[in-house]
A and B are shown apart, each in its own frame.
Chain A
Amino acid sequence: MLKTQNPIRLAWFGVALAAVLATSGQAMAQGKPAPNDPIVLLLKGNWVPVVSAPNLGLLGVNLNDGTWIVNDIHSVSSRPGSSTQNTIIGKVYAQVTSALIAYDLPGGVMLMQFTAGAWDMNPVPDGHGGLYYQETWDLTILVANGVYSEYQGGHNHMVDRYDSLAGGTPGNPANGPAYESCYCILSIGGGLPLWWTSN
């Protein structure tokens, strides 16, 4: 049972619990991220164009219009090797023609907009012929529903390491394959963003 005063509940509550429900294929009907708890997620894997995405119910968003790409969302937990460590719990969709990005998570969906950040101007070799782009990004959570509704108006601080596997210009897999490794710290709105002033 989760304790509401647990300082690392963010890992288990916001994500691991979601993972459990993802496995079961059921939306969260009970339990949700506790108020004020940041959620930590990991976007990880190869970006690929969307082939057939679900309708997330986001107004004005059509993930199948050819402008979106997709990647995996992994859980972040407190123990290496635990069953929920680094498991895929959802999908992230990014639009290459806008600053929008959507998270499809068990129990809810979030739509965000990039507000600050830029590609690393001095990428470093990845040792395999590609380049690491390392930077932070800040986003505003425009829409959050389901168990994540309290995060609407909140913030996402990304700590990103983007591997352009063939050294192509980052930002679009059309420029070459890209492997993402991006930690996301999501905080609620209402005056308690976990940084940053772009809110």
Chain B
Amino acid sequence: MITKQALINQTESANGHQPIHAHRRTFIGGALGALLASPGRMLAEDTDAPSNPFIVLLKGVYQPVPAGQGPASNLGLTTVNLSSGSFSKTQIYAVFGISDSNNDDNHEGKAIGTFYVGAGHRAYDLPGGAIAMRFLPAPAGAPPGFNGFVPFPDGTGGTFLEGTFELTILEATGIYQAFAGGHNHMVDRLHQLANGSRDEFCFCNISQYQFP
């Protein structure tokens, strides 16, 4: 962005040296098997290749994935075990640069995939492939909200948990293969309801390139 120069200039003038980077995000910090794993999943060649980056929205109340009841063939992923009993899942919606061809006739919000979280890892079951990720560690001195949540009361007995998260992509299958080794920048507002359940609302900016 361009006007950030002004922000930097302000910081420089205030401190007499280079800008402070307290908020900088350096802080912040088996395709076929996968295709066959989900019923109704389209073949990769029938699915548009995602843009780089692409954006998805994770939304919905998390449901546990009981031990032994993960997706068939583990989505073709080898770096996560989605049947370990430590994962929960919610839904994935297309936002930008990714096909929601399951919903070609309905732009209004059918989920395009399933998101799994647990054991420090993430997995995305998407049209045409799957992606596994793990969290990047927060560097020493990172501010609250970097790879961690900051709570805000929701006024009804629950809590909004907000933060950004940085993840590295461990493996990617199908049409997402080029994203292996890439990055996911998450902008998250997780709603912990008064009844203890968690309702996700999280944008994921997934790129082939690393993001500081």
Are B57 and A7 in touch, CB under 8 angstroms? yes
User: In the complex the two chains form, what is the Cα distance from A122 to B98 in whole Å?
Assistant: 29
Are A135 and B188 in touch, CB under 8 angstroms? no
Neighbouring B residues of A7 by C-beta, 8 Å: 57, 59-60, 93, 109, 201
User: In the complex the two chains form, what is the Cα distance from A76 to B5 in whole Å?
Assistant: 26
Can you name the residue of chain B whose Cβ is closest to the Cβ of A102?
B3
Give the interface size class of chain A: 35 or more
B137 at the binding interface (Cβ < 8 Å): no
Given A8-B93, A40-B95; A99-B145 close (CB under 8 Å):
no
B interface footprint on A173-199 (CB within 8 Å = 1, 0 otherwise): 100001010110100000111111110
Are B1 and A180 in touch, CB under 8 angstroms? yes
Q: Please report which residues of chain A, range 117-163, place their CB below 8 angstroms from some CB of chain B when the two chains form the complex.
A: 117-122, 124, 132, 134-138, 157-162
Shortest distance in angstroms between A121's beta carbon and chain B's nearest beta carbon? 7
Are A94 and B1 in touch, CB under 8 angstroms? yes
Q: Please report which residues of chain B, range 164-207, place their CB below 8 angstroms from some CB of chain A when the two chains form the complex.
A: 164, 185, 187-189, 201, 203, 205
B7 at the binding interface (Cβ < 8 Å): yes
B interface footprint on A1-42 (CB within 8 Å = 1, 0 otherwise): 011011111111000000000000000000000000010101
User: In the complex the two chains form, what is the Cα distance from A114 to B26 in whole Å?
Assistant: 18
Shortest distance in angstroms between A4's beta carbon and chain B's nearest beta carbon? 10
Can you name the residue of chain B whose Cβ is closest to the Cβ of A170?
B5
The number of chain B residues with a CB under 8 A from chain A is: 61
Given A11-B95, A42-B96, A79-B94; A121-B7 close (CB under 8 Å):
no
B10 at the binding interface (Cβ < 8 Å): yes
Shortest distance in angstroms between A175's beta carbon and chain B's nearest beta carbon? 9
B160 at the binding interface (Cβ < 8 Å): yes
Shortest distance in angstroms between A183's beta carbon and chain B's nearest beta carbon? 6
Given A3-B109, A9-B108; A40-B96 close (CB under 8 Å):
yes
A89 at the binding interface (Cβ < 8 Å): no
B6 at the binding interface (Cβ < 8 Å): yes
Of the candidate stretches B16-24, B32-40, B115-123, the one touching chain A is B16-24
Question: Per a CB cutoff under 8 Å, which of B28, B59, B100 touches A79?
Answer: B100
Are A195 and B187 in touch, CB under 8 angstroms? yes
Are A94 and B2 in touch, CB under 8 angstroms? yes
Question: Per a CB cutoff under 8 Å, which of A114, A120, A180 touches B6?
Answer: A114
Given A80-B97, A98-B6, A197-B150; A134-B209 close (CB under 8 Å):
yes
Are A10 and B1 in touch, CB under 8 angstroms? no
* Residue among A9, A117, A172 with most chain B CB within 10 A: A117
A103 at the binding interface (Cβ < 8 Å): no
Neighbouring B residues of A138 by C-beta, 8 Å: 23
B41 at the binding interface (Cβ < 8 Å): no
Are A119 and B48 in touch, CB under 8 angstroms? no
Question: Per a CB cutoff under 8 Å, which of A10, A42, A96, A197 touches B145?
Answer: A197
Neighbouring B residues of A98 by C-beta, 8 Å: 3, 6
Can you name the residue of chain A whose Cβ is closest to the Cβ of B26?
A121
Neighbouring B residues of A119 by C-beta, 8 Å: 4, 8
Extra contacts, 19 of them, besides A79-B94, A79-B107, A100-B3 (Cβ < 8 A), are: A2-B108, A12-B108, A77-B96, A79-B99, A80-B98, A96-B3, A99-B4, A114-B1, A114-B3, A118-B11, A138-B23, A159-B185, A162-B1, A171-B8, A183-B53, A183-B55, A191-B152, A195-B163, A196-B164
**Residues in chain B within 8 A of chain A (CB atoms):** 1-8, 10-11, 19-26, 28, 48, 50-51, 53, 55, 57, 59-60, 93-101, 104, 107-109, 143-145, 150, 152, 155, 160, 162-164, 185, 187-189, 201, 203, 205, 209-212
